[in-house]
Amino acid sequence: MIDMQTSSSATRPLKAARLRALPAFLFNEIDNLKRAAIASGKDVINLGVGDPDQPTPGFIIDAMDKAMRIPANHQYPDCWGTKQLLNSAAAFMRKRFGVSVDPHKNILVTIGGKDGIAHLPLALLDPGDGAIVFTPAYPVYASATILAGGVVHAIPASADSGWLPDFHSGPTLEALNHAGPRSRVLWMNYPGNPSGATASPALYRDALNFAQRHHLTVASDLAYSELYLNNDPACIPSIWQPDIGADIRTTRAIEFHSLSKTFNMTGWRVGFAVGHEDVINALRQVKDNVDSGVFNAIQSAAAAALDRFNDPEINAIRTRYAERAAIVCDALSRITTVTPPRAGIFVWARCPIDSQTGRPMNSWTFSKKLIEEAAVVTVPGAGFGETSADWFRVGLTRETSRIGEAMGRIASLRF
């Protein structure tokens, strides 16, 4: 028998230090409670997910069907992006945001937004370099930083500032200036997950100016770019749009787009990044070594989607989320204060006041109560950062009637 373990490998944990450095997955407990509720036969309504319930629009499936029947598409993909998709992404940026970019220098196709986001730190950070993340935040900015050996500088935003950072004064600026001389990346995400907060052009201008002064690359995650719920696309700017004033040839920044949420395409895994040529090249170099791109037929379907980003079917997706948001806000306003979201696929609200303490409930306690007493799953804000410990997130990605039913159940609870 072969003994595979030397004495040093026997004492070393199986997992590499970079994996051990990742924070515990905070939502496990909620997942376990959800599973237990399902196992006990309860009719669980899961409003914890951000995965659209509706199918991908038919015109996109038709484009995929055609592209799948072309044998050349069965080979390894054009891993930086097919000419067709790069051109469609550039045209989308022009039509939607008034931005002119070189599709071959400034755009890179990604396997969904997460691929680009998760690999960017490997491209830009040396071990010990910092990345600034405003919390509450999508957890991948922090976990990807840690996997790359970087250090996360989490800077809390709060309800008082509309969940937005302030680059001019107050605690944000102080925290930013103390974030460390070796910070290299500044993450932004508006419309934000979980908060739904949207950024003004002025906020991006401030961020880009701050980043330039401190030699940071701005990485902006625009995963929800088309999910404005108020008929006002201007409430979701791109960092590259002309009125912000950043020149893509000279500004070190990158913006991540995704087809997942806008086009009900989460399972297809396709997105793209638009950025300064050097940043795009650095990310390409990482990806050249870890993946082989997106199936060309999917890229063809993604091009068809972007070509018709304003199709009535896409407007209908927004209208449906806006209706659902209204149902949720109306119901929640009876138990707490809630601001209707301008964008995104979530309602983000403060937990109701606990009648025993007179203070908002802790979000773990509140979310557990919703599962146990109403069989409704929501996401506790505590899992996203400490300033949102008494906030919770309700997903709008379940059928409207199920959302209505969930709200009815919540309304019958006592807090």
Ligand X SMILES: Cc1ncc(COP(=O)(O)O)c(C=O)c1O
Choose, by CB under 6 A, the member of 165, 271, 381, 383 that binds ligand X: 271
Position 185: which residue type? Answer: V
Choose, by CB under 6 A, the member of 73, 93, 106, 114 that binds ligand X: 114
Q: What CA–CA distances, in Å, run from 164 to 25, 336, 404?
A: 25, 22, 30
Counting contacts by CB under 6 A, is residue 397 touching ligand X?
no
Q: How many residues does the chain have?
A: 415
Tokens at residue 82, please? Answer: 């097919």
- Supply the minimum distance, in Å, between the C-beta of residue 31 and ligand X: 16
Q: How far apart are CA 228 and CA 386, in angstroms?
A: 27
Smaller CB separation from ligand X, 67 or 144: 144
Smaller CB separation from ligand X, 221 or 390: 221
- Supply the minimum distance, in Å, between the C-beta of residue 170 and ligand X: 25
Smaller CB separation from ligand X, 271 or 360: 271
Q: Are 110 and 285 in contact (CB under 8 A)?
A: no
Residue 357 exposed, middle or buried by CB count within 10 Å (0-12, 13-18, 19+): exposed
Give the range of 107-115, 152-160, 171-179, 272-280 binding ligand X by CB under 6 A: 107-115
Q: Which of residues 192-211 bind ligand X (CB under 6 A)?
A: 193
Q: How far apart are CA 121 and CA 261, in angstroms?
A: 24
Binding map of ligand X across residues 284-303, x = CB under 6 A, - = no contact: --------------------
Choose, by CB under 6 A, the member of 230, 266, 281, 362 that binds ligand X: 266
Give the range of 88-96, 106-114, 152-160, 371-379 binding ligand X by CB under 6 A: 106-114
Counting contacts by CB under 6 A, is residue 135 touching ligand X?
no
Counting contacts by CB under 6 A, is residue 57 touching ligand X?
no
User: In 3D, which of 344, 348, 342, 375 has the Cα closest to residue 363?
Assistant: 348
Smaller CB separation from ligand X, 336 or 388: 388
Counting contacts by CB under 6 A, is residue 103 touching ligand X?
no
Q: For CA atoms 255, 223, 291, 296, give the dihedral sign.
A: negative
Choose, by CB under 6 A, the member of 57, 77, 103, 113 that binds ligand X: 113
Counting contacts by CB under 6 A, is residue 189 touching ligand X?
yes
**Residue carrying structure tokens 């908060």:** 195
Size of the site for ligand X (CB under 6 A): 13
Counting contacts by CB under 6 A, is residue 223 touching ligand X?
yes
Counting contacts by CB under 6 A, is residue 50 touching ligand X?
yes
Give the range of 1-9, 112-120, 236-244, 331-339 binding ligand X by CB under 6 A: 112-120
Give the range of 6-14, 31-39, 109-117, 212-220 binding ligand X by CB under 6 A: 109-117
Give the range of 68-76, 258-266, 291-299, 381-389 binding ligand X by CB under 6 A: 258-266
Choose, by CB under 6 A, the member of 78, 129, 221, 255 that binds ligand X: 221
Tokens at residue 2, please? Answer: 């072969």
Counting contacts by CB under 6 A, is residue 136 touching ligand X?
no
Half-sphere exposure of 100 (CA within 13 A, CB side): 0
- Supply the minimum distance, in Å, between the C-beta of residue 333 and ligand X: 25
Q: How far apart are CA 343 and CA 349, in angstroms?
A: 14
Q: How far apart are CA 237 and CA 243, in angstroms?
A: 10
CB proximity list for 150: less than 8 A, separation 6 or greater: 121, 125, 127, 128, 129, 130, 131, 184, 185
- Supply the minimum distance, in Å, between the C-beta of residue 247 and ligand X: 25
Give the range of 35-43, 108-116, 201-209, 308-316 binding ligand X by CB under 6 A: 108-116
HEC states along 382-405?
A: HHHCHHHCCEEEEECCCCHHHHHH
Position 296: which residue type? Answer: N
CB proximity list for 363: less than 8 A, separation 6 or greater: 351, 380, 381, 382, 383, 388, 389, 390, 391, 392
Q: Are 366 and 352 in contact (CB under 8 A)?
A: yes
> Cis omega (within 30 of 0) on the bond before 191?
yes
- Supply the minimum distance, in Å, between the C-beta of residue 143 and ligand X: 12
- Supply the minimum distance, in Å, between the C-beta of residue 242 and ligand X: 25
Count of H helices and E strands in the chain?
15, 12
Binding residues vs ligand X (CB under 6 A):
50, 112-114, 138, 189, 193, 221, 223, 258, 260, 266, 271
